[in-house]
Structure 1
């Protein structure tokens, strides 16, 4: 046993990550390496969490330095949670499994969420292509919904315009018919075919003039209706186009959009799905490895010393205040 062993800064940092007491661990030769291993696992989880959260925030904020700061902040929270849970592992007690069970639950919740940015990074090209396809589908769906919402109003306007045009066409056909009858009567090509019958020609002229006058009155009366219908239909089309354009501007390739695209890729491609779930398992293992290592590695002299020191402190406190 090396009683005067002095750990370097790297060892001290790794021991701090593993929640070990440096003064007790210096003389525990075998346990030094064990706690260094636990510290390196915690360091790896901390680094992974920081990178994953930084990438996540880079998809929702425009400034990269803000994403990095937030990533370090969230990574620090994960580090503190890991250290607290590792410190709480007590294999010798009946309740030593509780921190492990809680950490497993935490890994499934936080770990799965943190795995998403890493998976998006790995499948970046495929996800962007799928996100583009999904956005086009969203545009079409929105356009169909907009058209449907205004369809009743447009149908009513189209119907009014149709009735007006049918009425105009009816009066126009009648005007043309009476005018042709008058012309045929005057040039002898139709009607009585007797040029000398002036009364008949005059009567047909009067009928033609009346039809022309009626047509002009109908045109004057129905033109505003047709113009209003055209204007209202154009206004509805403009509203639809404006709302569609506003909706298109809202579409993006942010985090949620990419997650949905990744889900669609998983549903459509079995090879992607297999690698997705494989990576999920791997990333979850990264999350829970520090606690598993603390739980699975054998206990050494460090634990015995820690328990003895704690007992001595309790006895001392009791004797002092008794």
Structure 2
């Protein structure tokens, strides 16, 4: 035992990360290295969490400095949680496994979440292509919904236009037929086969004139109906186009859109799915390694000394207030 050992700042920082008491661990020769190892693992988890959260926030906010600040903040929370759980590991007690179980669940939640932005970074091009395809599908679905919403109104207008047009065509055909019959009668190519304006030709002329007047009357009556239907249909089409354009502007390549695209890639591509679950496992190992190392590394003189010091402090406090 080297009672006069003076640790450097690096060692002190690593021991702080591992939650070791500097005054006790500096005299425990073997445990110095053990706690330095745990401290380095905590440092690695802290750094990874900070980078991962910073990248996640970079997909949400536009300012890079804000993403960095938020990433540092969330990384700090992970650090505090790690230190609290590591401090709670006491293998000599029966409940020493509880922090490890809790950390496993926490690591699973964090690992599953942080695997997503990591994969978005690794498969950025593929995800953007899939997101573009998904957005086009969303546009088609939205257009179908808009058309369906205005379908009844549009069908009524089209039906009104159809009836008015059919009536107009009927009178037009009648006008053309009576005019052709009159012409055929006067030039001898049809009817009585007599050239000239005879009684039959005069009667057919009167019928043609009446048909022309009737057509003009119905034309004046049905034209407003047709024009109104055309105008109303055009307004509906403009509304659909306007709503579609507004919807298209809402589409983006934000985090949720990319996550949905990633899910579609995982479902459609086995290679991506394999790497996704492999990365989840790796992230889980990164998240749990500090606590796992603390739990698996053998107990040394530091823990025994810490328990004895704590027991002496308890005795002293009881003696003081007794």
TM-score class, shorter-chain normalisation, is over 0.9
Give the equivalent residue in structure 2 for 1:222: 222
Indicate whether 1:138 and 2:154 are aligned: no
Query: How much does 1:122 deviate?
Result: 1.1
Query: How much does 1:103 deviate?
Result: 0.5
User: 1:178-222: CA deviations, max 9, x gaps?
Assistant: 111122222222222234663322221111111111111111111
Give the equivalent residue in structure 2 for 1:15: 15
* C-alpha contact 2:187 2:196 (8 A) present in aligned 1: no
Give the equivalent residue in structure 2 for 1:185: 185
User: 1:114-145: CA deviations, max 9, x gaps?
Assistant: 22111111111211111111111111121122
Give the equivalent residue in structure 2 for 1:285: 285
Q: Determine helix, strand or coil for the equivalent of 1:19.
A: coil
Change over 3 Å in CA distance of 1:270–1:78 after alignment to 2 = same
Give the equivalent residue in structure 1 for 2:42: 42
The 4+ residue runs of structure 1 with deviation greater than 4 A are none
User: 1:164-183: CA deviations, max 9, x gaps?
Assistant: 11111000000011111122
Query: How much does 1:238 deviate?
Result: 1.1
Give the equivalent residue in structure 2 for 1:311: 311
Provide the rounded CA distance (Å) in 2 between the counterparts of 1:44 and 1:127. 28
Query: How much does 1:106 deviate?
Result: 0.6
Provide the rounded CA distance (Å) in 2 between the counterparts of 1:273 and 1:197. 91
Q: Determine helix, strand or coil for the equivalent of 2:3.
A: coil
Q: Unmatched 5+ residue regions in structure 2?
A: none
Give the equivalent residue in structure 2 for 1:251: 251
Provide the rounded CA distance (Å) in 1 between the counterparts of 2:179 and 2:15. 109
Provide the rounded CA distance (Å) in 2 between the counterparts of 1:41 and 1:260. 33
Query: How much does 1:288 deviate?
Result: 0.5
Q: Determine helix, strand or coil for the equivalent of 2:150.
A: helix
Give the equivalent residue in structure 2 for 1:70: 70
Q: Give the RMSD, CA atoms, in angstroms.
A: 1.2
Q: Unmatched 5+ residue regions in structure 1?
A: none
User: 1:90-112: CA deviations, max 9, x gaps?
Assistant: 11111111111100011111221
Provide the rounded CA distance (Å) in 2 between the counterparts of 1:90 and 1:103. 14
Provide the rounded CA distance (Å) in 2 between the counterparts of 1:40 and 1:81. 16
* C-alpha contact 2:52 2:117 (8 A) present in aligned 1: yes
TM-score (structure 1 length as normaliser): 0.97
Provide the rounded CA distance (Å) in 1 between the counterparts of 2:119 and 2:190. 87
Query: How much does 1:28 deviate?
Result: 0.6
Equivalent residues, number? 322
Give the equivalent residue in structure 2 for 1:151: 151
Provide the rounded CA distance (Å) in 2 between the counterparts of 1:138 and 1:196. 71
Indicate whether 1:260 and 2:260 are aligned: yes
Equivalence map 1:206-245=2 (5 Å): 206-245=206-245
Equivalence map 1:84-163=2 (5 Å): 84-163=84-163
Query: How much does 1:47 deviate?
Result: 0.6
TM-score (structure 2 length as normaliser): 0.97
Q: Determine helix, strand or coil for the equivalent of 1:191.
A: coil
Provide the rounded CA distance (Å) in 2 between the counterparts of 1:27 and 1:280. 40
